[in-house]
């Protein structure tokens, strides 16, 4: 059954292989520009995590601040910081933070944050314009992207652009093993730099959290 699920997930990706659809580039160029690495970007969103094998769904809201290669993702029960060198993964309920030094060439690490990869979409993805769809009550244009580099954690990325203003408003990430993430963007804006300390875990801010250094 597990093999059948993985094969089903890869069928759309196989259809995308070898394609770089020029019709999609008008939309993707706008996203790449909006995610300009020279600026700090703040994104607030609602999300849904569906485990299609277990038949369970979790939803909530979160935020992402992105500046260059640095980022902070806050989902409430989990917070992840990356300061360009170290990644800090905090589980707030169990009060533990795991500290690692990821290899930037590692495929798993490269694709942990697909939003950053959209800056260089022409190098990172195959892509095509699917067309007009209704998605979460909005008339949208759908674009599908498939990673150029195999072996990462997700199989397919879908972007939905509002037909009213052309802005990106939803991202769907289909992970392997049957996990589907949907992000509905509430707001995306350029902001002033929050400073380098913003992108690293602070023991002073979380005094009761155990710090666990992971071996690399």
User: Mean pLDDT, the chain, as a whole number?
Assistant: 84
CA 66 and chain centroid, separation: 11
CATH number at residue 183: 2.50.20.10
Q: What is the pLDDT of residue 104?
A: 62
Q: Answer yes or no: are the C-beta atoms of 70 and 84 closer than 8 Å.
A: yes
Tally of domains within the chain? 1
Model confidence pLDDT, tens digit, residues 146-162: 988 776 677 889 999 99
Q: What is the pLDDT of residue 111?
A: 43
Indicate yes or no: pTM above 0.75. Answer: yes
Q: Supply the range of the domain harboring residue 196.
A: 2-7+15-213
213 forms bridges with which residues in the sheet? 99
What is the DSSP track for 8-56? HHHHHHHHHTT-B-HHHHHHHHHHHHHT-TTSEEEEEEEEEEEETTTTE
pLDDT beyond 90 at 61: yes
Model confidence pLDDT, tens digit, residues 70-119: 899 999 889 999 998 899 999 999 999 999 887 765 545 444 566 777 88
Model confidence pLDDT, tens digit, residues 2-53: 444 443 444 444 444 458 999 999 999 999 888 877 789 999 999 998 988 8
Q: Which among 201, 198, 202 has a CA at the least distance from the CA of 66?
A: 198
């Amino acid at each position: 059954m597990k093999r059948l699920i993985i094969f089903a997930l890869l069928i759309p990706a196989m259809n995308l292989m070898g394609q770089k659809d020029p019709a999609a580039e008008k939309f993707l160029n706008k996203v790449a520009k909006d995610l300009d690495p020279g600026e700090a970007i703040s994104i607030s969103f609602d999300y849904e995590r569906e485990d299609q094998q277990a038949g369970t769904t979790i939803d909530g809201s979160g935020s992402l601040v992105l500046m260059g290669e640095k980022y902070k993702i806050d989902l409430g029960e989990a917070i992840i910081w990356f300061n360009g060198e170290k990644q800090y993964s905090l589980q707030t309920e169990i009060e533990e933070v795991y500290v690692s030094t990821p290899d930037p060439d590692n495929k798993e690490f490269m694709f942990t944050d697909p939003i950053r990869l959209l800056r260089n979409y022409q190098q990172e993805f195959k892509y095509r314009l699917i067309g007009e769809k209704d998605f979460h009550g909005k008339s949208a244009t759908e674009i599908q992207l498939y990673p150029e580099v195999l072996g990462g954690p997700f199989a397919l990325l879908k972007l939905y652009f509002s037909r009213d203003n052309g802005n990106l408003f939803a991202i769907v990430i289909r992970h392997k093993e049957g996990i589907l993430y949907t992000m509905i963007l509430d707001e995306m804006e350029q902001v002033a730099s929050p400073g380098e300390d913003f992108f690293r875990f602070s023991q002073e801010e979380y005094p009761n959290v155990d710090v666990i250094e992971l071996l690399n």
